[in-house]
Amino acid sequence: MIIRKLIGKRDVLLALAAFSLLAVSGLTGCGQQNSIGNAGKADVSIDEVVKTEEEDVSSESDDTNDEQDADITYGELSEGDAAPDFTAELVGGETFTLSENKGKVVLINLWATWCGPCVGEMPAFEKLYNEYGDDLKIVGVNCVEDKDTVDAFVKDNGYTFPIAYDENGAINGRYPTQGIPYTLVIGKDGVIKNIYLGADSEDIQYKLYKEAIDAAINE
């Protein structure tokens, strides 16, 4: 069980940097060994991630989730837990609030541009987004990268499904994980139905997520 206290942005930055270092050693996903998926490799060191991201977020004092996370402790989530609420700014300027989507099945994916398995499975989310329409809400929560990096990635790849910024790590702190990609399928009642850590190929992930989404929709 992981229990973490949100005591500052540096904790999240160090954790994500550690994920990138573990990824270089050839573990599935970025930071956690898993029975599915190929190794993801990051081209950044811990010092580079921490230094760069701390500079990017040091002047950000008014992030959407700052007040939400003050002095709150979050633990590792399990299937059957209520999904922690959050509000995030999306690429394009709109906002997403989880609690406003009760009655809908929601898929949340935590990812980063430097995480190979994250990038590799993203076409599956685009396909699911186009296939399910209003029956499914998808949001990809970026892990502590600056807006320019996220915007450029989305533009270069032509993704249209909602992608959220999390520059200060507040949302990531609500969903603590041993690595990324980290994906959750949340039922209409706001309860976590499925948790996935790591990723295999786009096609395999699409089938896994589709099965879980269909089950949640039909409950």
Q: Which residue type, as a one-letter code, is found at position 2?
A: I
Structure tokens at 27: 């573990």
At 183-198, the pLDDT tens digits run 999 999 999 999 999 9
- pLDDT of the residue at 156: 98
- pLDDT of the residue at 30: 65
Domain, as residue range, for 206: 3-70+80-217
Percent of the chain scoring above 90 in pLDDT:
65
Residue 75 lies in a domain: no
On the question of pLDDT at 86 being above 80, the answer is yes
What is the pLDDT averaged over residues 74-91? 96
Strand partners, 178: none
Stated pTM of the model? 0.73
Domains of the chain: total: 1
Residue 110 lies in a domain: yes
Residues 6+ apart with CB under 8 A from 15: none
pLDDT category at 74 given cuts 50, 70, 90 is: confident
Residue 18 lies in a domain: yes
Structure tokens at 125: 């989310």
DSSP state, 178? S
Can you give the CATH number for the domain in which 96 is found?
A: 3.40.30.10
